[in-house]
Each structure stands twice: as C-alpha cells, then as structure tokens.
Amino acid sequence: MTINGENQEFEVLGKGIDLRENGYRLQLNLDRRNNDPYREQGVSIVLPYQKTGKNIIERFNYHQYINAVAFNGDFINGELESTVLTNTRTCFSATFSGS
C-alpha cells in the first residue's frame, strides 16, 4: 500500500465473509507492527463480497498508535475515491485516494 507517497507493507490479520439481507459482505483487517508495540498501524476495509467498481467500499478505517499518540479515522466519511479491481475468494486489489 502506498500512503502519502511511501510504500508500506501490511499483512492480513483477518478476513471474513458475512451474510446480510442484501448479499454477502467482505471484511479485511490489515496490520503493520514491525514487532514494536509503540508503532502500530492497521486498516479495516468492508465492502460487498465479489463486487468490483468505483466507490463501493462501505468502510475504510485506519488507525495508528505511534510514540504513545493514537489516531483513528473512518475515511468513507471524508473524501475517499476508490476502485475495486479484483474481489474474489483468493484475491483483493483496489486503488484509493483521499484525505
């Protein structure tokens, strides 16, 4: 993932597919800790399972805890533009930008 022009590598900590009234929902939880409890970052993404297209991400939460300072943000309420390119049982790919 590239954040503010810097390449950052996250690992998938959890994923799930939930049944809801209007279909299935995919949730991905990504994390970047580097084994340092004072530097952690995470992303949670929720969107319809197997759907692709523009601005279909329903939730894009980012959190970080660096040097005892916490930040949490839901970027869907901001100016997030996204395009989901691949959304299968084995692969997820998307581009996004925003502030």
pLDDT at residue 35, rounded to an integer:
66
pLDDT at residue 29, rounded to an integer:
93
Q: 3-class SS at 31? A: strand
Q: Does the pLDDT at position 99 exceed 80?
A: no
Task: Tell me the per-residue pLDDT of 24-39, one tens digit each, with 9 for 90 and over.
Answer: 999 999 998 766 667 7
- CB proximity list for 68: less than 8 A, separation 6 or greater: 38
Residue 63 tokens read as 């959190």
Could you tell me the pTM of the whole model?
0.81
- CB proximity list for 8: less than 8 A, separation 6 or greater: 1, 2, 32, 41
Contact yes or no for 65/38 (Cβ under 8 A): yes
pLDDT at residue 87, rounded to an integer:
93
Q: Does the pLDDT at position 52 exceed 70?
A: yes
